[in-house]
Amino acid sequence: MAPLISKIVSGIGFARSKGKILASGGSIKIFGNYTYHVFTSSETFNLTGAISQIEYLIIGGGGGTGYNASFYAGGGGGGAGGFRTGTTIISPGSYQISVGSGGNSGGGNGSNSSAFNIISTGGGGGGAKFYSTSPGGSGRPGGSGGGGGGGSAFNVPRFTFIPGGSGGLGNSPPVTPPQGNNGTPGGGASTFVDGTSGGGGGAGSGGNGTSGGTGVSMPSSFPLSVIGPLMPASWVSLINTYGIARGGNGSFPHNVPSPTIPANIANTGYGGHYYLNPGEGSSGLVIVRYSW
């Protein structure tokens, strides 16, 4: 038999197999023996055909940077949204697919993404940095944790060096395998130099200094070559270079921004970066695949 010609149906549609409607919802692509449903926003997955097993990729919304607008001070990077992939069995029916939004600048957590009672937790917001005697704010827990805010140095009281905040806990709540990693603690001040604000955790690693944790490549069940044509070119370029679910960058002392990677492209699950206006996390993503 000649191989099935791949086809793309944009928007909400129906996937057909041998003349039989199997499911609707999301942007649909049939490739080889698999049907893919890509959800970039919340909607319903309606399954009418008999499918023994489905595969899923669920990415939570990324956390926002801890940028402190009141003090015009740097802050920790937002944690990436939780990254979960696997298989499950479902019966014909309607299933709500939720795609989480990114957290707001100021340390907001990302929102959860979910499908089939499987939840990827939103990324933790980054901790704020305060130009005061208060310690740097702690990164928040989430799919991956937010980075901690750096401490400040003061001459009055003399030789006052304020500690940084702790990094947020990743894989919170815990699942197996882990859905993310911890954020980096904020650095304490020393010799009249403010401390750095830590990077948020990513799906591939925890934050490293001011740099956000690494993202991960698209799973082999959801190759970029298949999913990419359903997504904007900017999304494809970013994921091809940095992977999905990357942590946001923190900041160096004195408001000098660390190198930034775009976090404002939708559906990457990236944590928000300090000094990349507006510093919000990116929304999440849900993809479903099944064979027929």
Question: Is the CA virtual torsion 136, 68, 73, 61 positive or negative?
Answer: positive
DSSP assignment string, 130-144: -SSSSPPPPPPPSSS
Q: What angle do CA 221, 223, 225 make, to 5 degrees?
A: 150
What pLDDT is stored for residue 138 in this prediction?
A: 94
Number of domains in the chain: 1
Sole residue written with tokens 């009141």: 70
pTM above 0.85, yes or no: yes
CB 179 within 8 A of CB 216: no
Question: What average pLDDT does the segment 178-183 reach?
Answer: 98
Q: Which of 28-32, 78-82, 196-200 has the highest mean pLDDT?
A: 78-82
Closest alpha carbon to 286 in 31, 47, 54, 20: 54
How far is C-alpha 42 from the chain's CA centre?
Answer: 16
Instruction: Report whether pLDDT(88) > 80.
Output: yes
Dihedral angle over CA of 194, 206, 174, 62, nearest 10: 80
At 70, the pLDDT band (50, 70, 90 cuts) reads low
Compute the residue count for the chain. Answer: 292
Distance CA 230, CA 244 (A): 16
**Domain that residue 273 falls in:** 1-292
